[in-house]
Amino acid sequence: MLHLIVLLLFAFMSMGASADENGPDRSAIEKGRYLFHAANCYACHTDVDKDGAPLAGGRQLDTEFGIFYSPNITPDNETGIGKWSDEDFIRALTRGIAPDGRHYYPGFPYLSYRNMSREDILAIKAYLFSQPASSRQNTPHRLEWYLSQFTLRIWKILNDLVVKPVTFDGSRGSYLVDVLGHCNECHTPRNVVGMLKMENRLQGNEDLSAPNISASKDGIGDWRRQELADLFRYGELPDGDYAADHMGEVVDNSTSKWVDEDLDAVIEYLLAE
Amino acid sequence: MKNSISLLLGLYLATAINLHVQAKDYESEDFIEYRHEIMEAIKGHNKAIKAILQEKVPYSDHLDMHMKSLEALLGRVGELFPEGSDFGETKAKDAVWDNPEKFKQSVDKAQEAFATFKAVVAKGDNRASLDAFKQFGKGSCGNCHKSFKKKDD
């Protein structure tokens, strides 16, 4: 009899587990929340200056190629990503292709995200789908005349053929710096057509006023570990100033939320480069 | 009647001269430089406070002086960005003048962050004060620079 009760209890618990699997997976959402911050999705996909709804896009990004407006990534079925499947989301993050086949411009850092694990990508998706939907319509980009889906596809083919891919050495530090944090996108210089010059990785991009953060004398080679920790945690720079503009946002939305182990891994990685 | 006209004329001239002086000041690079120097002074006191709290220098009796100076300077930051002063070589973003209410909120927040920090310092626990200093920096200078200061060239 006791065996029967235990068996029934176990079956009941298993049924409960199955039901959970069909609903939101809390652990994936929590994991996704951390990864979402590490990947700094909030800053680009929220129009903070105009008090826009979180993740509803519309943030204006001024570049030499025109003005980009980030898209709505809330789970709204019509204006956001509510209808996206897992495979749609993975393809967007790793190949820069939307569910309808359109290609994303490289302002979206899929060239860095392409090394993200499938499990992590889906955890981010789970987190995004747990957030409130916004019906904000996407704003079309205002780009230079020569930019189109056609030229973008040629750019992507050439980029894959000619340019060294964004580095990822398999370490946690590299995963946070090169993949999730997509630091190369701003801190690595680009050529005239906007391709990353990976041979000069992390050596700064003057066009974006992004400094050299390589472990050289011109970069952060002379920084102490504590100085890097204070920058990532509090935005404090060694000269007593504080990180401004985009880097201030990176600190606020992303690096200040790293757990201690990740902070250590990033410092280790950056100073060893 | 003659006295009234003289009074009105006097008031008009005084107002005109005052406006002229303000406009002249706003057009001057001295104005920007003054603002910059105030910011540098804030940075200097910040660094000094940190060095004292880290016990890198033997001047713990200077802490009160730096705290009072920093408090006074932070209380004046809002005055340094009046309407019409968005000119010249400045690191301030247009958002300062495009969205003055938001900027004021940010300045107010910096002063609140200082008050919190000051309360911790008053208890005399050096370790806690150093931790509070870091939170103060993030919530004051860091918070304002994020939205209202351009990156260095």
Of B99, B135, B146, the CB nearest to A249: B146
A8 inside domain: no
Q: Enumerate domains of chain B plus CATH numbers.
A: 29-148 (1.20.120.10)
**How many C-alpha atoms does A269 have within 13 Å on its Cβ side?**
20
Q: What is the pLDDT of residue B88?
A: 81
Q: Which residues of B touch A48 (CB under 8 A)?
A: 147
Of A208, A239, A244, the CB nearest to B145: A244
**How many C-alpha atoms does A252 have within 13 Å on its Cβ side?**
22
Last residue of a domain, one of A114, A131, A162: A162
Q: What is the pLDDT of residue A112?
A: 97
Q: Mean pLDDT, to the nearest integer, of A222-234?
A: 97
Please give the residue range of the domain that contains residue A149: 26-162
Domain count, chain A: 2
On whether the CB atoms of residues A28 and A122 are closer than 8 A, the answer is yes
Instruction: Check residue A67 and report its DSSP letter.
Output: E
CB contact under 8 A, A252 and B146: yes
More confident residue, B85 or A231: A231
- Report the Cα–Cα distance between both ends of chain A, in Å, rounded: 65
Residues A204 and A137 in one domain: no
Give the number of other CB atoms < 10 A from CB of residue A148: 11
On whether the CB atoms of residues B22 and B85 are closer than 8 A, the answer is no
Give the bridge partners for A60, in sequence order: A69
User: How is B114-137 classified by DSSP, letter by letter?
Assistant: HHHHHHHHHTT-HHHHHHHHHHHH
Last residue of a domain, one of A109, A127, A162: A162
More confident residue, A187 or B15: A187
Rounded distance between C-alpha atoms, residue B117 and residue A114, angstroms: 43
Structure tokens at A218: 């011109």
On whether the CB atoms of residues B141 and B114 are closer than 8 A, the answer is no
Last residue of a domain, one of A120, A135, A162: A162
Rounded distance between C-alpha atoms, residue A191 and residue B64, angstroms: 52
Inform me whether the pLDDT recorded for A223 exceeds 50: yes
CATH number, domain at A101? 1.10.760
On whether the CB atoms of residues A242 and B150 are closer than 8 A, the answer is no
| Confidence band of B111 (pLDDT split at 50, 70, 90) | very high
A17 inside domain: no
Inform me whether the pLDDT recorded for B110 exceeds 90: yes
Rounded distance between C-alpha atoms, residue A85 and residue A87, angstroms: 5
Residues A59 and A142 in one domain: yes
Inform me whether the pLDDT recorded for A123 exceeds 70: yes
Q: What is the pLDDT of residue B85?
A: 84
Residues A86 and A192 in one domain: no
Q: Give the strands of the sheet with A66-69, arranged side by side.
A: A60-63, A66-69, A142-143
Q: Which residues of B touch A230 (CB under 8 A)?
A: 134
Rounded distance between C-alpha atoms, residue A94 and residue A9, angstroms: 43
Q: What is the mean pLDDT of chain B?
A: 86
More confident residue, A112 or B21: A112
A87 inside domain: yes
Inform me whether the pLDDT recorded for B96 exceeds 70: yes
Residue A69: enclosing H or E segment and its boundaries? strand A66-69
Of A48, A247, A252, the CB nearest to B151: A247
Q: What is the pLDDT of residue B108?
A: 95
Instruction: Check residue A201 and report its DSSP letter.
Output: T
Q: What is the pLDDT of residue B4?
A: 60
Which of A12, A44, A6, A14 lies closest to A182, judged by CA? Answer: A44
Residues A36 and A158 in one domain: yes
Rounded distance between C-alpha atoms, residue A109 and residue A106, angstroms: 6
Query: A102-106 long-range CB contacts below 8 Å, 24 or more apart?
Result: A102/A149, A103/A149, A103/A152, A103/A153, A103/A156, A105/A65, A105/A68, A105/A141, A105/A143, A105/A147, A105/A152, A106/A155, A106/A159, A106/A194
Residues A178 and A267 in one domain: yes
Q: What is the mean pLDDT of chain A?
A: 91
Q: Mean pLDDT, to the nearest integer, of B118-130?
A: 96
A143 inside domain: yes
Q: What is the pLDDT of residue B3?
A: 59
Query: Chains A and B: how many Cβ contacts under 8 Å?
Result: 76
Q: What is the pLDDT of residue A23?
A: 58
On whether the CB atoms of residues A213 and A188 are closer than 8 A, the answer is no
- pLDDT tens, position by position, B35-67: 999 999 999 999 999 999 999 999 999 999 999
Q: What is the pLDDT of residue B151?
A: 82
Q: Mean pLDDT, to the nearest integer, of A16-44?
A: 81
Residues A40 and A154 in one domain: yes
Q: Mean pLDDT, to the nearest integer, of B118-146?
A: 95
Residues A95 and A171 in one domain: no
Residues A97 and A155 in one domain: yes
Which of B147, B140, B153 lies closest to B39, judged by CA? Answer: B140
A49 touches chain B (CB under 8 A): yes
CB contact under 8 A, B138 and A48: no
Residues A158 and A182 in one domain: no
Q: What is the pLDDT of residue B7?
A: 53
Inform me whether the pLDDT recorded for B103 exceeds 70: yes
Inform me whether the pLDDT recorded for B24 exceeds 80: no
- pLDDT tens, position by position, A134-190: 999 999 999 999 999 999 999 999 999 999 999 899 999 999 999 999 999 999 999
| Confidence band of B87 (pLDDT split at 50, 70, 90) | confident
Give the number of other CB atoms < 10 A from CB of residue B39: 18
Handedness of CA B18, B20, B21, B25 (dihedral sign): positive
Residues A82 and A157 in one domain: yes
